[in-house]
Amino acid sequence: IFDMESGESREVVQFHYTTWPDFGVPSSPVAFLEFLKKVRCSGALNSDVGPAVVHCSAGIGRSGTFCLVDSCLVIIEREGLESVNIQQILLEMRKDRMGLIQTPDQLRFSYQAIIEGAKRFHPDFCVNIFNAVYQIHGKERDMEI
């Protein structure tokens, strides 16, 4: 995009994940994590390029899942598995965007994607990641949707 008055230009990159049903979840987090990896590799989520705009039809279900999974994986990468509290992170995100993660299935998928993402992106955290996430922070069903 080029602003003729100021001479300023910006590159806009759009990603479109087309296989996620509204209100549902993908059958597996694998394709979603590959999508997230492509978005990350593009640099679109880097802090030096400005904020990313993530949106779905309502702006809270699929986009909330994307933001929660990415945020948790970034925290795991920077600070380690023990520092991520999925429930607390979601509650903090909901202060800025009420209703993020609309359904229990979306929350369950978020947990699955975070676990799978930590195993794929950070294999050294793989010792017993499933048990660590659920024992440290409780099961996702304990959280109100």
Q: Are 76 and 122 in contact (CB under 8 A)?
A: yes
Q: Are 32 and 20 in contact (CB under 8 A)?
A: yes
Q: Are 71 and 118 in contact (CB under 8 A)?
A: no
Catalytic site includes residue 56: yes
Q: Which of 20, 18, 24 lies closest to 102, judged by CA?
A: 24
- Region of 16 please: left (phi>0), alpha (psi -120 to 50) or beta: beta
Which residue in the list 41, 56, 72, 126 is annotated as catalytic?
A: 56
Give 9's strand partners: 2
Could you list the active site residues?
A: 56
